[in-house]
Structure 1
Amino acid sequence: MQLPPLDAIRVIDLTQFLSGPHCTQILADLGAEVIKIESPEGDLSRHIPPHFIGADSLYYMSVNRGKQSVCINLKSDEGRRIARDLISTADVVVDNFRPGVLTRLGLDHVELRAENPRLVWCSISGFGQDGPYRDKPAYDMIVQALSGGMSMTGEPGRASVRAGIPIGDLSAGMYAAIAISSALYRRGESGRGDYIDVSMLDCQVAMLSYQAAYYLFSGKVPGHQGSAHDSIPTYRGFRAAGGGELVVTANTDRMWQGLCRVLGREDLLADPRFATNLERFENRNVLLPELEAAFLSRRVEEWLPLLEAESIPTGVVNTLDQVMADPQVLHRELIVEMEGDDGASVRTIGNPLRFSDSAAPAAGYPPALGEDTRRILGGVLGLSDTDVDRLAAQGAVVAGAGGVAGR
């Protein structure tokens, strides 16, 4: 029988919005049991406009599939006790509170890991658990700006823009999932867990990649990249006739020669200014207007087969409607439809990971607020319906209508 890679791993999810929920959704996609602890108000992302299914936003639904929701008031003594009891049963805890908040709530990772040495605890924050920015609030765009990545995004001569997707949040979530998986692997050898400190800013700075190496070597500060590449002038986007856009990655001499043939500009091959990639790079300000003018002579759909015939990697700059109808995306079944117990359904992007010898969990409909409180407190902590009703009356939890045996 095939099992998911993280089968039998229990994750207590103390996160909201995007960076933390993205991390725990990856873990759920890998087969972990993810128990999302929410306040009586719920994850704030449940309320983000403009699109809603029932009471919950599509924003929330896009990063919370396959989880279970337990609603606990961490401001109450009984609520904190219940949270501690759940954490004592866990393999992993993920939080994205600002540093120090959980300690003030009586959920200090040092104390709880001392009680459960096998526990892997990962804290995601804007700037990490130490340093001069430790207590500053951070959002995706702030981190994109501070990291330097935003200073390279946009067209030359125009204002900087943030990336079209929230890469500050998403990359922190992915790095956290990698770190957690690594800590679980090491725990299998040592028997001990770990504490992981993931900073959104650290992750974004790490993703500067070769641009950071270029600066540290040369001292030259890169500007807006537009759709170009800082090393290869024929690795870039071009506008075509009719307003369409495509990207071309002619990054070898063979591809350069093929590109000139496709464009009907064999004369460029005889120009000594463009004889090698280095010379093309040094003379890119002369070369690029020639290429841009040539690409404007045909439509995107005319260029693609010509470029592919010369084995030049190319692609259309797709809009989202084109992506969702793309035959490769459809073949890989990246769009999933999730159905709730009440008959509601929502389509979103599913798990991109494929394993040949491991099962993939079905995409579970994101939980309603407190939907699983009774079942989890009964099945994991052994509380009866009467116990849960008492806790609910005290304001320690918010419980759904179903009994402890199921929904």
Structure 2
Amino acid sequence: MAPLSGIRVIDLTTVAMGPLASQWLGDLGADVIKVEAPEGDSTRRTGPAIEQGMAALFISTNRNKRSIALDLKTDAGRDALLSLIDSADVFMHNIRPQKLAGLGLGHVELLKRNPKLVYAGLHGFGESGPYGGKPAYDDIIQALSGCADLMGKQNGVPGYYPSIIADKTTGLIAAIAILSAIIGRQSSGEGVVVEIPMFECMTAFNLVEHLYGHIFNPPVAPLGYPRVLSKDRRPLRTRDGYVCMMPYTDSHWRAFFKEVGASELIDDPRFSSIGDRTQHIDELYKILSSYLLQRDSFDWLTVCEKLGIPAAPIRSLDDLLKDQHLEEVNFFQSYDDQSIGGICTPGVPILINGERPKSRIPPRLGEHGREILQEIGYDQEKLNRLLRSGTAQREKMGSSPLG
């Protein structure tokens, strides 16, 4: 039995943050029902695609789910969604609360209908603050939460992390928050309202190390963790390329200084403890860089293995696809789809009792609509009426959104 087997999640989220959160819940065994507008989640069209509506980014963020397409602008569509929510343990969305309230989908209304519901709002900003209700995407949150400035402090020019890190980080936090609410409900028997704002989540993420001396009042040191912000914290050039080396503990540095014939630095007060090294990190990294230039990359990796110093070569994205370790642990999941052909994605990255949870290919738009509505008591006449009303529209390709 998967840990969340028997838990039903109604997922009204789109793009990346919410779908990643609900994907985790599906990976852990929850029945995740993805409710989409008749045109589908925008990520169905983001990136390369072999089949219309099944683009790369959608496939990456929507495994282990079922899909139903409903037009929430119609009474029939809203009624169908409300019936689904009545049957659910979790309702999650990333729609502005003002818009949801206009649809009758606010937390007050839904908890009256389903008093044990976990109601999760994934927002750009906390609703009680002046930014509440503003639109937010990854780049905007990276700018506001300090990410772009941190890149500038290290590189001289503000920039974005080359990853949708705000979406992915907040998606993980959302999954944790929803899981904790499910556990809490088991004890209290009462529904829970959970708010997961991107801005606050990413600010907390960045300030783990970068609040630094300002964690005390009054501050005892500037903001920013010096080791991480050092301009010399980067892959280090060797005689024939680059390596990533991370001497960190006192024993690591003592071993390194002995190896390069610089034993006098072991007792140098600038480098004798982790606190001293942090204060003089730029000097230390410059010394490290000067020695690495004297040998080839393979030599340094061999030395580090001998000395117990963490080190690694730089791997490209191409390298990851043929990495021996990932192959040995069966990390990648392959599908053979009749329409698309071969699909290869990262599998669920965790193990439960030594096994990787199963993965199902992401759903076509509305692929499971008929079976989902039948599960909550819709008979054939009611299903046909929903189709005739245009609430669920047929795709140009593939099956009807109601299955």
Same fold flag (TM > 0.5): yes
Q: Which amino acid aligns with 1:338?
A: Y
SS at match of 1:121: strand
**Alignment length (residue pairs):** 396
Residue 307 to residue 403, structure 1, CA distance change in 2 (3 Å) = closer
Q: How does 1:292-311 map to 2 (within 5 A)?
A: 292-311=289-308
User: Which segment drifts farther, 24-33 or 173-182?
Assistant: 173-182
Residue 256 (structure 2) pairs with residue 253 (structure 1)? no
Aligned alpha-carbon RMSD (Å): 2.6
By how many angstroms is 1:127 displaced? Answer: 0.3
SS at match of 2:97: coil
Q: How does 1:83-232 map to 2 (within 5 A)?
A: 83-153=81-151, 156=154, 158-207=156-205, 208-217=207-216, 218=219, 221-222=222-223, 228-229=227-228
Residue 109 to residue 169, structure 1, CA distance change in 2 (3 Å) = same
| Aligned residue among 377, 380, 395 for 2:376 | 380
Aligned to 2:332: 335
- Structure 2: tracts of 5 or more residues without a match: none
By how many angstroms is 1:52 displaced? Answer: 1.1
Q: Which amino acid aligns with 1:300?
A: S
The 2-side partners of 1:216 and 1:83 are apart by 46
Q: How does 1:392-403 map to 2 (within 5 A)?
A: 392-398=387-393, 401=399
Residue 76 to residue 202, structure 1, CA distance change in 2 (3 Å) = same
- Structure 1: tracts of 5 or more residues without a match: none
Residue 319 to residue 222, structure 1, CA distance change in 2 (3 Å) = farther
Q: Which amino acid aligns with 2:295?
A: R
SS at match of 1:53: coil
Q: Which amino acid aligns with 2:83?
A: D
Aligned to 2:46: 48
SS at match of 2:211: helix
Identity %: 35
The 2-side partners of 1:157 and 1:382 are apart by 59
By how many angstroms is 1:272 displaced? Answer: 4.9
By how many angstroms is 1:117 displaced? Answer: 0.7
1:78-119: CA deviations, max 9, x gaps? Answer: 111111111111111110112221111222221111111111
Contact kept, 8 Å, 1:335 with 1:348, in 2: the verdict is yes
By how many angstroms is 1:360 displaced? Answer: 5.5
By how many angstroms is 1:332 displaced? Answer: 2.5
Residue 33 to residue 270, structure 1, CA distance change in 2 (3 Å) = closer
Contact kept, 8 Å, 1:237 with 1:245, in 2: the verdict is yes
1:222-259: CA deviations, max 9, x gaps? Answer: 4697xx4369x9986422233323131x2222111111
Contact kept, 8 Å, 1:12 with 1:37, in 2: the verdict is yes
Q: Which amino acid aligns with 2:390?
A: G
SS at match of 1:274: coil
The 2-side partners of 1:40 and 1:211 are apart by 44
Contact kept, 8 Å, 1:96 with 1:125, in 2: the verdict is yes
By how many angstroms is 1:183 displaced? Answer: 1.1
By how many angstroms is 1:278 displaced? Answer: 3.8
Residue 107 to residue 240, structure 1, CA distance change in 2 (3 Å) = same
The 1-side partners of 2:88 and 2:338 are apart by 27
| Aligned residue among 32, 35, 38 for 1:34 | 32
Aligned to 1:313: 310
SS at match of 1:162: coil
Q: How does 1:235-274 map to 2 (within 5 A)?
A: 237-248=235-246, 250-269=247-266, 271-274=268-271
The 2-side partners of 1:186 and 1:277 are apart by 40
Q: Which amino acid aligns with 2:364?
A: A
SS at match of 1:5: coil
Contact kept, 8 Å, 1:156 with 1:224, in 2: the verdict is no
Aligned to 1:391: 386
Residue 24 to residue 276, structure 1, CA distance change in 2 (3 Å) = closer
Contact kept, 8 Å, 1:16 with 1:43, in 2: the verdict is yes
Residue 83 to residue 73, structure 1, CA distance change in 2 (3 Å) = same
The 2-side partners of 1:332 and 1:101 are apart by 45
The 1-side partners of 2:273 and 2:189 are apart by 56
SS at match of 1:398: coil
Residue 321 (structure 2) pairs with residue 324 (structure 1)? yes
The 2-side partners of 1:181 and 1:365 are apart by 23
Contact kept, 8 Å, 2:211 with 2:224, in 1: the verdict is no
Contact kept, 8 Å, 2:348 with 2:358, in 1: the verdict is no
